[in-house]
Amino acid sequence: MPAITKRLNFLFRSTKGLVLVAIALIALVTALFGTLSGPLAEWGVKDIVVRGLGLRLVEAEREGRIIMLYHAIALAVVAIETYLITALVPMKQSEQTRINGTITVGYITALVFGLLFAYFGRNWICHGLFLFGQSLIFFAGVQLAVALWPWKREYRRQDAAYARTRRGLDLERTAFFTMAVAMLGSALFGAAAGAYFGNGFESFLAENVVREPHKTALQLAVIGHLHIMLTLIGVALTLIVGRWFDFQGRLHKLAMPLMIAGTIIVTLGVWAVVPVEEIAHYIIYAGSVPAALAAFLLVIYGWRKLIRERLAEQGLKKASLRQNLAALLHDPLKFGALWQMVYMNFVVTFVGIFMAIRLEKIVRTWPWREERVELTGHWHVLAALIATIILLYYADLIGLQGKARQWFGWLVIVGSNLAFAAAALFGTKRLYVSESAQQPLVNWATTLIDLGLATVLVVLASLLLWRLVDLFQRKGLWAKEWAEADLAAGEEVRR
């Protein structure tokens, strides 16, 4: 019994354990529900899973099911980010424990009962528990915002290397705080609409109403909610990666005010979609630029640091271009996390900008189903890129070393990049081929997407399998990680 207690303590009371549990749950959900569409459905795996598990897939409820599946995954991602924030940003131990405890119960309740409601018959008790779980997550978010309050005396930034005001206000902490408050507001923004649509009324997918000339306020709120939540998850992750790299110096001082301003403006812009849709997009563009610029500054800082540290390790004072490049690529986990942010621009941002600029001239001359393929591809790629950055960070967090680090890092980068490039090509295929000539492109693109994603999933499965086996060992990595967490818990305020 003590052996099980120790392991449960590791899994549910340490940051590394909590992140591992959340990643494992997301992986399980992805593996299971991924069989219901795409190639696995085509190969007949879907039928086996549906029969084997007794899933109840009512055709009219498909959109509602998908919405709950998206929420189940997204809530677990929010939980992971929360664990990382409470571990990285100084706060009281008791605050960290309360926040992590609340969100863990919240997201697991919402995930389990949300999926039971969606896929195993509409049991309204499950739906109630899904809402209860989400409420707990919201409450954890409120606690997080309180803990992050940047104007507390004890959190004044003394070190001049980091962004701060003259009075010592820590601007990075303020950026985290701004993100947390914006996310709470945006969650409410979605919850208001969800309270109508989710309670058995007419659930819909945002991409399905994109061409409707008249959208209701609640429909606009749903569209806004999904966009801003994904954006804020991205903002949070950028800030987390900044902590991972110990982002500081001149670029940090530039980046943090930009990130704060960008977060506020983008959030207000998205909320403005409901009352003033016509001008909301301009506000969103205005906010996206500083936020993206802040991320760009982090990339510059991070890559320079990677090169500098590697060259120092090698004892090279002057290096050739090739040596600089080799130093940059030396650690695929750290390089990859920042590279994915850059790559995001090619397969998400630039495609999105093109679509916006050429909406009337090109995109809206396609039938709506073609536009929908691009829209769904666009945000699936963005969400998946965010997931890969989390995976790369987690692999570093658990101290993956040597060849395992290289293989894991490069396979995640190459696999995902291949898949997302092909997805971007697939989504915009009508630009290059006519409908009747598209079969070869579709064959290639779908093959590359499947191959790339399969690579990432196999690598992830290997990592999780290793961690699972490790849990059965008395002195496994888990025991070391738990001992470290136990030590850290002794400090009242962690820095």
101-102-108 Cα angle (round to 5): 90
Q: Among 365, 399, 465, 473, which residue interacts with other proteins (rule: CB under 8 A)?
A: 365
**Which residue matches tokens 């309270």?**
195
Based on the shown chain and the rule CB under 8 A, indicate whether residue 122 belongs to the binding site for other proteins. Answer: no
Minimum CB distance to other proteins, residue 365 (Å): 6
CB closer to other proteins, 359 vs 483: 359
Q: How many CA atoms lie within 13 A of 270 on its CB side?
A: 27
Q: Map the footprint of other proteins across residues 161-200, applying CB under 8 A.
A: none
Q: How many CA atoms lie within 13 A of 462 on its CB side?
A: 15
Based on the shown chain and the rule CB under 8 A, indicate whether residue 451 belongs to the binding site for other proteins. Answer: yes
Q: Map the footprint of other proteins across residues 278-297, applying CB under 8 A.
A: 278
Cβ of 89: how many Cβ atoms within 10 Å? Answer: 23
Based on the shown chain and the rule CB under 8 A, indicate whether residue 414 belongs to the binding site for other proteins. Answer: yes
Q: Among 434, 474, 490, 495, which residue interacts with other proteins (rule: CB under 8 A)?
A: 434
Query: Which parts of 198-331 fold into alpha helices (H)?
Result: 217-244, 250-271, 277-314, 321-329
Based on the shown chain and the rule CB under 8 A, indicate whether residue 438 belongs to the binding site for other proteins. Answer: yes
Based on the shown chain and the rule CB under 8 A, indicate whether residue 491 belongs to the binding site for other proteins. Answer: no
Q: Among 59, 154, 159, 492, which residue interacts with other proteins (rule: CB under 8 A)?
A: 59
Minimum CB distance to other proteins, residue 323 (Å): 20
Compute how many residues bind other proteins; rule: CB under 8 A.
39
Q: Among 248, 323, 455, 462, which residue interacts with other proteins (rule: CB under 8 A)?
A: 455
CB closer to other proteins, 202 vs 484: 202
470-329-247 Cα angle (round to 5): 80
d(CA 476, CA 11): 13
Based on the shown chain and the rule CB under 8 A, indicate whether residue 402 belongs to the binding site for other proteins. Answer: no
Based on the shown chain and the rule CB under 8 A, indicate whether residue 379 belongs to the binding site for other proteins. Answer: no
Based on the shown chain and the rule CB under 8 A, indicate whether residue 159 belongs to the binding site for other proteins. Answer: no
d(CA 37, CA 310): 44
Cβ of 162: how many Cβ atoms within 10 Å? Answer: 18
Based on the shown chain and the rule CB under 8 A, indicate whether residue 211 belongs to the binding site for other proteins. Answer: yes
d(CA 79, CA 81): 5
d(CA 489, CA 374): 47
Q: Among 124, 350, 444, 472, which residue interacts with other proteins (rule: CB under 8 A)?
A: 444
Is residue 302 within 8 Å of residue 245, measured between CB atoms? yes
Residues that bind other proteins (CB under 8 A): 37, 42, 59-60, 62-63, 201-202, 211, 213-214, 278, 359-360, 364-369, 406-407, 410, 414, 434-440, 442-444, 447-448, 450-451, 455
